[in-house]
């Protein structure tokens, strides 16, 4: 019995040490899914488990490695978003277009993630031209006010990263059955029925509300599991009085925000327009990729090409207008 007790104590201590080691390892910034298939479009999801020495995280910066291209970060409520653009080392094919430049760093700024909580930061991108077995390093800088934690150590080829104090998150590239295929064109569920009793016009039609004409509505297809989508349309004010788009809602999402994207000196900044968008008398305002747009948050079922997404636009003077957005490809075609 004494031997059994001793074994139990030893086993308990070993289990405690193992759990402690595991917790310590997971204290680093890591990927939720640490593998990606060759030539596939993925959602690279970084896990930030804590702040810096008890302080809240206020900014997360991620440097993107060569071979992870056409990157699009997921906006986060309460955070500003910046994308730094630069030259790739190689030229990449994007559905027939030869691309030499793109996002090389993503920054979520001016947030407030308490040390008591955990969160994820997501970047959609394509793994391109990378051999199976290669590990792509994504150096991360975690800022907590004036305190900085850099997760940027990368082991030399063949080296072991486990002993490093501040290892960079790694994404291992693996071969797969769908090698050479992109996930952007995957078919999915039809969301047409979500429009309800349906005062909205069919997708693509021009909708009129007082002096306003709303046309050209579309959304972009999303990846499986992606909780954020984009929507676009054009508003023409034929009247003599200014109006304003003040809010948007949709049964397809938990929340729809109005965003603006501005690029200056190769830095793209995205921010929420809480006061909406002014539609001046006699003016036409276009919501389009890379500029003004709708941001669907907490999407219930990712938008698939060929589906439709119902939205309700609320204008200051014209009131509520139902619109149906046609879901095009992830490239908006």
Half-sphere exposure of 153 (CA within 13 A, CB side): 12
126 lies in the same domain as 200: no
The pLDDT assigned to 331 comes to 66
User: Could you identify the residue written with the tokens 């104590």?
Assistant: 9
The pLDDT assigned to 135 comes to 94
pLDDT tens for each residue of 199-224: 344 555 789 999 999 999 999 998 77
CATH of the domain at 70: 2.60.40.2230
Q: Are strands 35-37 and 170-174 parallel, antiparallel or unpaired?
A: parallel
Q: Which of 143, 174, 205 is where one domain is finished?
A: 174
The pLDDT assigned to 172 comes to 94
139 lies in the same domain as 82: yes
143 lies in the same domain as 197: no
The pLDDT assigned to 204 comes to 58
- Of the two residues 14 and 209, the one the predictor is more confident about is 209
211 lies in the same domain as 123: no
Q: Average of pLDDT values for 165-183?
A: 74
Tokens of 201: 């016009």
275 lies in the same domain as 170: no
131 lies in the same domain as 223: no
pLDDT over 90 (residue 19)? no
Give the angle subtended at the CA of 266 by the CAs of 262 and 267, to the nearest 5°.
50
Domain contains 104: yes
Report the distance separating Cα 318 and Cα 314, nearest Å: 8
pLDDT over 70 (residue 153)? yes
User: Could you identify the residue written with the tokens 């993503």?
Assistant: 106
CB 118 within 8 A of CB 49: yes
pTM of the predicted protein model: 0.64
Report the distance separating Cα 98 and Cα 240, nearest Å: 45
Domain contains 13: no
- What is the SS3 assignment for 31? strand
Report the distance separating Cα 103 and Cα 63, nearest Å: 9
- Of the two residues 78 and 195, the one the predictor is more confident about is 78
CATH of the domain at 244: 2.60.40.1890
- Counted residue by residue, the chain has a size of 333
Give the angle subtended at the CA of 253 by the CAs of 252 and 256, to the nearest 5°.
120
209 lies in the same domain as 320: yes
Q: Which of 114, 148, 174 is where one domain is finished?
A: 174
Q: Give Cβ neighbours of residue 290 (< 8 Å, ≥ 6 apart).
A: 261, 263
Which of left, alpha, beta for 78 (phi over 0: left; psi -120 to 50: alpha)? left
pLDDT over 70 (residue 162)? no
Q: Are strands 212-220 and 319-328 parallel, antiparallel or unpaired?
A: parallel
pLDDT tens for each residue of 48-58: 999 998 999 99
Q: Give Cβ neighbours of residue 202 (< 8 Å, ≥ 6 apart).
A: 324
The pLDDT assigned to 327 comes to 95
Report the distance separating Cα 41 and Cα 112, nearest Å: 30
Report the distance separating Cα 256 and Cα 132, nearest Å: 39
Question: How many angstroms from the chain centroid is the CA of residue 320?
Answer: 29
Report the distance separating Cα 198 and Cα 203, nearest Å: 12
Q: Are strands 292-299 and 253-264 parallel, antiparallel or unpaired?
A: antiparallel
Domain contains 3: no
Half-sphere exposure of 311 (CA within 13 A, CB side): 36
pLDDT over 50 (residue 192)? no
Nearest to 167 by CA among 9, 309, 27: 27
214 lies in the same domain as 252: yes
Domain contains 144: yes
Report the distance separating Cα 179 and Cα 176, nearest Å: 5
Report the distance separating Cα 183 and Cα 328, nearest Å: 14
316 lies in the same domain as 257: yes
222 lies in the same domain as 307: yes
Q: Average of pLDDT values for 292-318?
A: 93
Residue 113's domain spans which residues? 28-156+165-174
Domain contains 303: yes
The pLDDT assigned to 226 comes to 77
- pLDDT grade, residue 27 (50/70/90)? confident
- pLDDT grade, residue 159 (50/70/90)? low
Tokens of 224: 């499986």
Our count of domains for the chain comes to 2
Domain contains 265: yes
Domain contains 5: no
The pLDDT assigned to 266 comes to 74
Tokens of 17: 């040490």
Report the distance separating Cα 165 and Cα 178, nearest Å: 36
Domain contains 283: yes
93 lies in the same domain as 143: yes
* DSSP letter, residue 194: G
Tokens of 161: 């990263």
Q: Give Cβ neighbours of residue 198 (< 8 Å, ≥ 6 apart).
A: 310, 322
135 lies in the same domain as 202: no
């Amino acid at each position: 019995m004494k031997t059994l007790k001793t074994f139990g104590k030893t086993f308990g201590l070993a289990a405690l040490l193992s759990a402690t080691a595991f917790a310590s390892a997971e204290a680093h910034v890591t990927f939720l899914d640490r593998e990606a298939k060759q030539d596939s479009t993925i959602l690279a999801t970084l896990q930030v488990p804590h702040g810096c020495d008890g302080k809240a995280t206020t900014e997360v910066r991620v440097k993107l490695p060569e071979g992870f291209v056409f990157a699009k970060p997921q906006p986060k409520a309460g955070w500003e978003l910046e994308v730094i653009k630069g030259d790739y080392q190689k030229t990449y094919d994007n559905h027939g277009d030869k691309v030499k430049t793109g996002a090389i760093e993503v920054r979520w700024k001016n947030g407030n993630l308490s040390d008591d909580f955990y969160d994820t930061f997501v970047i959609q991108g394509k793994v391109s031209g990378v051999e199976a077995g290669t590990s792509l390093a994504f150096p991360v800088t975690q800022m907590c006010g004036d305190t900085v934690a850099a997760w940027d150590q990368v082991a030399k080829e063949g080296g072991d990263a486990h002993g490093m104090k501040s290892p960079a998150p790694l994404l291992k590239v693996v071969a797969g059955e769908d090698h050479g295929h992109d996930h952007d064109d995957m078919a999915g569920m039809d969301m047409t029925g979500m429009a309800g009793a349906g005062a909205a016009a069919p997708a693509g039609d021009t909708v009129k509300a007082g002096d306003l004409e709303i046309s050209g509505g579309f959304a972009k297809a999303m990846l499986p599991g992606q909780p954020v989508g984009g929507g676009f349309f054009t508003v023409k004010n034929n009247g003599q009085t200014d109006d304003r788009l003040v809010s948007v809602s949709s049964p397809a999402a938990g929340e729809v925000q109005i965003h603006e994207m501005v690029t200056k000196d190769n830095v793209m900044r995205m921010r929420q327009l809480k006061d909406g968008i002014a539609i001046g008398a006699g003016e036409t305002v276009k919501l389009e990729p890379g500029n003004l747009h709708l941001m669907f948050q907490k999407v219930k079922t990712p938008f698939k090409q060929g589906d439709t997404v119902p939205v309700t636009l609320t204008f200051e003077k014209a009131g509520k207008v139902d619109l149906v957005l046609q879901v095009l490809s992830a490239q908006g075609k």
